[in-house]
Amino acid sequence: MQLGSKLLRSKSGQAVIEFVLSLMFLMGLVVFIIHLSMSMAIGNYIHYATFMSARALLSSALNEAAQKENAEEVISKMLKNGTRFSGWIEPSLAGGGRFPGAKIITNPSSWSGVNNHRASSWMSGVLYQFNMKVFMGPISGSAGSKISLTSESWLGRETSSAECAQKVRALQQGEVFIDNGC
C-alpha cells in the first residue's frame, strides 16, 4: 500500500503529461486554423465567381435571356457545376436557372417591391446562397455544423441589343424616353 501512495506523490512523469496535453491542444488549434483558413479562402473564391458572373450579366448581348445565360455559364464553369468544393459547401437556394444556388436577377421590381425601374436599375446582379461546414471533428460530430452564407454582386445590367433597337424605334415614332446608354 505504501508503494502505491509513493507513486502517486512522485512528480516523475508530470512534464510528459503536461507536454502531451499541451501538444493535443496545440494540434487542435492548428487544425482549427487550417480549417478556418480554407473556409475563408473558399468563401472568397465563391464571392469572386459571383462577381465574375455579375460582370457577364453586365455586358451587353443580343437579348436579356442571352445575358442571363452568359452569367449562369460563368458561375457554372467557375464552380464546376457545384462540384469544385463539394466536401465543404452545398447550395442552399434552388435558384431559377441551370445552376443550383445561383439566382440571376434582372428584374428587381419582381423581388424587391420597388416599382420605379429607374430607381432600382442598379439592383440587377447575381446572388449565390450556400451552406458551409464550420468545423468537422469529434467535438461537433461527424457531420459538422453548417452556416448559411450568401454571396451577392450587384453591378447592374447594360441594355441588350434588342432593347436598344426597340428604344430607337420608339424614339423614331416620337416617344420620349430616358437615355439608358444605348
Domain ranges for the chain: 13-172
145 pLDDT higher than 70: yes
44 pLDDT higher than 90: yes
Over residues 82-89, mean pLDDT: 77
4 pLDDT higher than 60: no
Q: Are 180 and 167 in contact (CB under 8 A)?
A: yes
Provide the pLDDT for residue 139.
56
Residue 41's pLDDT band (boundaries 50, 70, 90)? very high
25 pLDDT higher than 90: yes
111 pLDDT higher than 80: no
Please state the pTM of the whole predicted model.
Answer: 0.72
